[in-house]
Amino acid sequence: MRPTRWPLAWLLAGLALAPALASEPAPSVHLLTSAPTCAHKRLGQVSVTLGEKAPNLRTGMRPSPVDYRLAFAKLARAAQAKGGDAVVLRGHEAAYVAKGARASRRPSYVSLQGAVIALANPDAACELALLDPQTFAREVSAREAEDVVKETGTAF
């Protein structure tokens, strides 16, 4: 029996497309911690979710970790799709799934909710409370966990 080469072909195709996807320009949407002081118009809410909260029920393996940078980029793209200049972070949830006694350093699930706004005059000098995804991720990982659920999965 001859082994198939399809998995290798898919891997090579993915590696060839990775630089094109990584070089996608970042949206020009500001990420904010609070609403700006200048005039703005609310355009609605957006939310994004990455990852999984629970381990794989079939294998018992923990889910892959997710990156805050990707979550915030996805939130900014969703805000840009609604026509917004900025998105104000209104809610955040993260789940850290660990296996055994080792604590997980990176979340396996991230959910972000934000309010999309359009600045009345984007060129005007307006004080914006900008949010840096890397700093946010460091601050979140340094916080004490609010709710810890310990489960032992059953693998069949």
76-106, pLDDT tens digit by residue? 999 999 999 899 999 999 888 877 767 778 8
- The letter for the amino acid at 121 is N
> For residue 20, with 0-12 CB atoms within 10 Å meaning exposed, 13-18 middle and 19 or more buried, which class applies?
exposed
Measure the CA–CA gap between 15 and 38, rounded to whole angstroms: 45
0.75 cut: is pTM over it? no
Q: pLDDT tens, 110-137? A: 999 999 999 887 666 788 888 888 999 8
User: What pLDDT, on the 0 to 100 scale, is given for residue 23?
Assistant: 38
